[in-house]
Amino acid sequence: MELATNTKMIPRVMFYVPGGGFQLESYMLINKLHGVELILILPKDSVLSPWMNRYEIHRVDALGTRANSSLLKVGWRSVRNFLKSLLLIRKIRPDFLVCIGSSICIPGFCAARLAGVRRVYIESVARTDSHSSTGSFVKRFGLASRYYVQWPGQADDRGERLYRGTVL
């Protein structure tokens, strides 16, 4: 896929914005991004914050909740999110997919990898001692083109987990 598929050569970024603390970290990073066209991807059960109103928004299924996280249902939602993400990628033609710390991005990263779109995974700043299960999954299966950590001690010598400062 060629870079910047829109006519003004402004990079398009599909940004997965989960709920809770991840949403705050996403907001902090989005405020630092300039000169890009942002498209937000939110779980259907996530609250729409006022700052999101200026962006194009698409919704995907939440993969699991505390009350409803059976493996079968999570698997089915993952397949639906993969298909929806594939359709969105085909329609929007983003240059990058970005996600901070949440599993909601995994189906989208799979679709983006298949479509040749670059994927950026950023480990949550809350992960001070170890990597998240999502981060480990993303790394193990090569789902991210770039993998950033927010603590210097979490970067590795092979350059697979990069430290470039914190989002907050």
* pLDDT at 10 > cutoff 80: yes
What is the maximal distance between C-alpha atoms in the chain? 45
* pLDDT at 2 > cutoff 50: no
Q: Report the run of H or E that residue 116 belongs to, with start and end.
A: none
- Say if 6 falls within a structural domain: no
- Say if 16 falls within a structural domain: yes
pLDDT at 112: 96
Q: What is the mean pLDDT of residues 117-137?
A: 79
- Say if 30 falls within a structural domain: yes
Nearest to 8 by CA among 40, 37, 39: 37
In this structure, the chain runs to a length of 168
Higher pLDDT, 86 or 134: 86
Q: Which long-range contacts (CB under 8 A, 24 or more apart) does 161-165 make?
A: 161/123, 161/131
CATH number of the domain where residue 122 is located: 3.40.50.2000
Q: What is the residue-averaged pLDDT of the chain?
A: 84
- Say if 88 falls within a structural domain: yes
Angle, in degrees to the nearest 10, between helices 106-115 and 71-92: 40
Higher pLDDT, 127 or 6: 127
pLDDT band at residue 108, thresholds of 50, 70 and 90? very high
Residue 88, CA distances (Å) to 41, 45, 54, 162, 165 in order: 10, 19, 19, 28, 31
Q: What is the mean pLDDT of residues 160-164?
A: 73
Residue 37 domain boundaries: 12-163
How many other CB atoms sit within 10 Å of the CB of residue 101?
Answer: 27
- Say if 168 falls within a structural domain: no
pLDDT at 66: 61
How many other CB atoms sit within 10 Å of the CB of residue 3?
Answer: 10
Phi then psi for residue 92, to 5 deg, are: -85, -35
* pLDDT at 3 > cutoff 90: no
Number of domains in the chain: 1
- Say if 1 falls within a structural domain: no
pLDDT at 65: 63
- Say if 4 falls within a structural domain: no
Cross-strand bridge partners of residue 94: none
pTM, rounded to two decimals = 0.82
Angle, in degrees to the nearest 10, between helices 133-140 and 106-115: 20
Nearest to 44 by CA among 18, 66, 73: 18
Phi then psi for residue 57, to 5 deg, are: -125, 135
Count CA within 13 A, CB hemisphere, residue 33: 19
- Say if 129 falls within a structural domain: yes
